[in-house]
Amino acid sequence: MSKNREPKKYMNPYLGGVLLGLVLIVAFWVSGRGLGASGAVKSVVVAGVETVAPQHAQNAVYYKQHSEDSLKSWLVFEMLGVLVGGFLSGAIAGRLKFSVEKGPHVSGKIRLIAATVGGIFFGLGSQLGRGCTSGSALTGMAVLSLGGFVTMAAIFGTAFALAYFARKLWL
Amino acid sequence: MGPLVANEIISPDTNLFLAFLIGIGFGFVLESNGFSSSRRLAGMFYGYDTTVLKVFFTAAITGMLGLLFMSLFGWIDLSLIYINPTYLWSAIGGGVIMGVGFILGGYCPGTSFCAASIGKLDALAFIGGIFLGVLLFTEAYPLWENFFNAKYLGSPLLSSVLGLSRGVMTLLIILVALGMFWVGEWAEKRFARDDYKLNQK
């Protein structure tokens, strides 16, 4: 253990990929489904609306179709685990710190606004695409689902195509 | 033998407990690879850090091969594995919208939770955005209900669409991934930045 507070190096990405693949395989072996993330947010939103505005939830189409969705879902428990696992890794590596991460030429305020807007897009898109990078792209590709490859190509293709216009945020 | 829950080897509650443990592994591996850093994730789209490509495709290949071998050994019944259905228009449309969110926000949902767990406030803002985006989808659902359900193709596999066996398909994807890894390694040298330390070194 060194005295200086430099965070530890990240893992070799190919080793990291194999480990992530093993986690994915365990998920398949246990539950028959792979990993996911945005589905947990959907469960919380549906449960939240049903609690806060039960009258509205009974009348709006989407909530009626998803009334059996509850907080006691696989992805909600998995995402709680992600928070714990991320925290543990960050603690071991010396990376626990409150900060706003941003490109060198952008203000913290702009960064937070862009992050919020980005989240809104990702949240909306993940529901339309029936899953996000984890549930649709990664898990879908592992099972060779056509939809998984299509969604993966659309996500990364769009981000590459727009990178030039968003360069002030990152470069 | 697997999947354990479908074959009633474990109870639904045990399944949820294992989901929590699997999530811990998921979050730990994401964070150890720096998926808790928006600059690292965004680096993918500018070439200065292609970790996303390397981890993501290595994981997908490992998953594909793992399922193939486990099926071969009789450890898992592939017919009980969930294949996400393909609704072509919403798969493309949703993906495009997610791509906009990725380049603006620098995270995807899984990585934002991972980043928030170590104190990244931009990730917390992104998570707030995800909740708003999902709420927007559920509230305004009648607006996109038709688009959401259009062009339903069932649950086809890429291999069957191309008329290949699972094994040959996997081999082809591995070869494509190796080519992309080579491009990624090249890009990190070509687009390296003075203000960014790859792997924190």
Per-residue pLDDT of B25-61, as tens digits, reads: 999 999 999 999 999 999 999 999 999 999 999 999 9
Same domain, A74 and A14: yes
Question: Can the peptide bond before residue B3 be classed as cis, meaning omega within 30 degrees of 0?
Answer: yes
Q: A91 pLDDT exceeds 80?
A: yes
Q: Which residues of B touch A85 (CB under 8 A)?
A: 23-31, 114, 117
For residue A76, what are the domain limits?
1-98
CA dist., res. B70 & res. B55, Å (int): 22
- A37 touches B108 (CB < 8 A): yes
Average pLDDT over residues A81-100: 96
Tell which of A68, A98, A128 closes a domain: A98
Whether chain B has a CB inside 8 Å of the CB on A164: the answer is: no
Nearest to B45 by CA among B119, B117, B108, B122: B108
The confidence score (pLDDT) of residue A1 equals 44
Whether chain B has a CB inside 8 Å of the CB on A110: the answer is: no
Same domain, A114 and A52: no
Q: Which chain A residue's Cα is nearest to B158?
A: A146
- The pTM of this model reads 0.94
Average pLDDT over residues A112-138: 95
Same domain, A117 and A162: yes
Tell which of A98, A116, A146 closes a domain: A98
Residue showing tokens 């990993």 = A35
Same domain, A73 and A126: no
Same domain, A89 and A114: no
* Cα→Cα distances A111→A98, A117, A156, B97, B197, Å: 15, 10, 21, 19, 20
Same domain, A16 and A56: yes
Residue B8 Cα, gap to closest chain A Cα (Å): 10
Same domain, A85 and A122: no
- A159 touches B99 (CB < 8 A): yes
Tell which of A98, A119, A134 closes a domain: A98
* Cα→Cα distances B178→B165, B173, B174, B182, B185, Å: 20, 9, 6, 6, 11
Q: A16 pLDDT exceeds 70?
A: yes
Same domain, A3 and A84: yes
